Structure 1
Amino acid sequence: MRGALSLAVILAAGVVWQAVAVAIDSPFFPPLLDVLGRARENWLSGPVSALFLTEAVADDVLPSLVRAVGGWALASVIGIVLGVLLGMVRGLDAYLMPLLEFMRAIPPPVLIPLFLILFGATETMRISFVAFAVMWPILLNTITGVQAVEPTQLQAGIIFRLNARQRLMQIVLPSALPYIFTGLRIGLSLGLILMVISEMVAGVNGVGYGILTAQRSFDILNVWAGIILLGLMGYGLSVGLQYAESRLLRWHRGSKKRSV
């Protein structure tokens, strides 16, 4: 029922878009059917042997996914490891938090020239840039989650003679997972945004580069087609993360339902 309602809302929004675009007849706001037609031509008009995918998918879409997901994955590893360390070593975060907050407050786009100097206009630069900017919500949410573990749970682990590794794996990380996934969701959205920015500023391919190129040549249909594609990419990645979260946190959501 919920899925059918969501689909109905999407279809209704599409109908409104089509009707408004036809009514105002603006070259900068084309009808949705025209945009979808251009998107199909760009990415879904290939041979049957390639599942109708065109070469542009391999040239533009896949590199963008690798940059966004690669940067997010790297940031996740660094953020979770550092977050667990800072959260478990009491008092350490008090010394480092001002520095972390200072670095987190720097707008990521202004750092692109620095990353270009360090790495050049390479894949390493783009993935590193995404990872640096995405790391902060993951890191800070992990610290909060680790510090929110009930002391009685840790004491129980000591009573049952669990060693440090067992307490980490069986008590700390399961308790902190809801916070960690909150940071991962925020980071995934940021990763997609910053991937587009890196491609627009220092890219030679990718969806963001394609949108910028289309904008410069006043190819409005390609601009809107790229925007639609980015929305679908973000939605697909979000659904995948939500599925993983639902599998790993079934116990957490179940306990919430029982307590209501």
Structure 2
Amino acid sequence: DEEYEHRDAQRLGGFRSLLSVPMFHRDEVIGVLSVFRTDLRPFTEDEVDRLSMFAEQAALATVTSQLAASVEHQRVELARFPPQQVADLISSPGGQKLLEGHRSEITVVFVDIRGFTEFSALAEPEEVISVLREYHREMGAHVTEQEGTLGGFQGDGLMVYFNDPYPVVDHARRAVLMARGMQDGFVPLAETWRTQGFQLGLGVGIATGYATLGRIGYEGRYDYTPIGTTVNLAARLCDKAGAGTILASQKTIAAADVDATLLADPLELKGIPQPVPVYEV
């Protein structure tokens, strides 16, 4: 064929007859399927029809493969977000918009080991890692049981929040139940560590209210986290909570409908302009 322009390809391929059909998806050409012969012989109509059928199947397979690659890309993105709930969120309809930032009523829980700073300064590194592993394993079980979202581990401290990225109707109550379970589960751990000479306890702070949630970080490492006064309040209550103590905000107790004791005096907390009524659970 004098009009055929790809002479170099013909010489490299060694073909004398070539048949190419387009691959369509939604009326858009996404590729070309070609077959060739090394002898000079025209293709029959049946062969053209068969190749066209294969081209349709190849187009469907290509689109499916691209979709799978897109999902895998999303999964890679999800790996940057520790909580599984956030991984599910980004694959959901409207998930990307939520990651950009939104407000939601949540309950936030901060948990921290009392005596850990002194312990880590005196203990061997292997002992510190062993304690943290046992602690994280026990705390994580209660997070999962009550369907909380783990905001991340920070050494001996951790943050958990409820009612985002998916709704939890009784989020305040679940947070309190989780905190109680954590305290109960911490007791045998503390006893074991005490026999090894380590005096450790657990303090917990809980607050309920509105917060802004979304993606923060940088390319290669993103976190999905809440920010705002509610988060700060929970963190400050945790700071005030002694070993074996759970401190909760007034709004948390009202929403959770659990027995709690109002402290005699409101607490002055860093970053909170007015003294805060606080309950011990």
The normalised TM-score by structure 2 is 0.24
More strand by share: 2
Look at both structures and tell me which one has the larger radius of gyration over its CA atoms: 2
The normalised TM-score by structure 1 is 0.26
